[in-house]
Amino acid sequence: MATVKDEPDGATELEAEEREGLKFRHVTTRGQLDHLEQANIQDGLKWLSKRRSGEILDERFVRELHKRMFGQVWTWAGSFRSTEKNIGIDPRQISVQLRMLLDDVKYWVEHETYPPLEACLRFHHRLVYIHLFANGNGRHARIMTDALMAKVFKGKPIDWAGGYDLQSMNERRAEYIQVLRQADRGDYSALLRFSVEKED
């Protein structure tokens, strides 16, 4: 297939072998791909809403959610990436780092280390930082974080988009990327503000 064009800032560039995993050969633009992925994501959200029990803080669930969100579009959905990216850790460390993150979150929950919102945002940031998959990491991490908030902390979802489309380059997406980069340096204050400022 032709290279998917018009990547927004912060998007993960796909390698040739990853693009080969696209199930729809007619797709040549980012807009076409976004449309297909969004329809699949809606199916993933339906699956998640019907799931009444079960552990979400384990690798099997993390991978299954990604597969449910993107499996109708990508053959490798739910499989950890095997290539280096412009963001994310060494792919050989993904499984270990994810296990450490999930164990950390279980500890935070059990010991009330952080207030629920901060725990969820720290989880979100580290999930994006690890960058588990070849594509769809931000969307997957936001939905995983909302699942953590709803199913573990019994809270309401975060208004990530604030009325914008986070898949398109706009002020909200630029701010989202900026606050994540600030969290990379250990400062979560901007991410906390970002998560609540649109809720008023």
Distance of alpha carbon 77 from alpha carbon 69, whole angstroms: 8
CATH fold label, 16-158? Fic-like fold (1.10.3290)
- Distance set, CA 31 to CA 4, 37, 41, 47, 141 (Å): 9, 10, 15, 25, 21
Parse the chain into domains and list their residue ranges: 16-158
- Segment 162-179, tens digit of pLDDT: 766 666 667 888 999 999
pLDDT per position as a tens digit, 82-111:
999 988 999 999 999 999 999 999 999 999
Greater model confidence, 97 or 200: 97
CA 94 to chain centre: 14
**pLDDT of res. 26:** 85
Q: Model pTM?
A: 0.88
